[in-house]
Amino acid sequence: MSKLGAIDFPKSGYEAVIFDCDGTLVDSMPAHFDAWCEALAAYGAGGIFKEDVFFAMGGRPTRDIVVDLNEEYDLKLDPEAVALAKRDAYLKKLHQVEFIDEVADFAKSLRGKMPLAVASGGSRYVVEKTLKLLDCSDWFDEVVTADDVANGKPAPDIFLKAAELLGVAPEKCLVIEDAPPGVIAAQAAGMQVISVPMPMLNRD
């Protein structure tokens, strides 16, 4: 398991909790970064995706990131093709993914006590595979992904959709997030946000 250190989760003041998945509930960032590097290299764009940019874009849909990379580096990458290659590369590394202890323990402590959801910028296929691997799918009442909304993070759509499915007003929801786009999205949705430290890539 991966540890972040003490996180001050509030004990009251909300009626539902919405968790980001990658980098928040699970430490999947090394696997995602390696998958990005492999996918971009396969399309002749190896080396352009730096770690700081990767973390800054955390939580955003893969296709949106490819569009940004095209603009930044004057490339003509096919967003759909790169997204598919990145997904396939990540799935081969799924065995590397583990819980982030503090966040997983918080989720478990709330299980059955209030509505819980996952709201991820990933695709439903990948998110559900991740939750199934870690045997935590049944912790959550709803799972909302980039496939379910018109606009991904940092737009608020994904969190508003989760609140709607949970039947809880946005201002009564607490969001647990790690990446700037997700924090911005939760704030735009009018929700309380706890920003947890982003896990490093741990290349030791």
Q: Which residues are catalytic?
A: 20
Residues in Cβ contact with 25 at an 8 Å cutoff, skipping those fewer than 6 apart: 19, 99, 100, 103, 104, 107, 118, 136, 176
Rounded to whole angstroms, the Cα distance separating 9 from 79 reads 37
Distances (CA, A) of 34 to 41, 151, 153: 11, 25, 22
Instruction: Tell me whether residue 65 is exposed, middle or buried, using C-beta atoms within 10 angstroms of its C-beta: 0 to 12, 13 to 18, 19 or more.
Output: buried
- Dihedral sign of CA atoms 188, 189, 192, 196 in order: negative
Rounded to whole angstroms, the Cα distance separating 95 from 103 reads 19
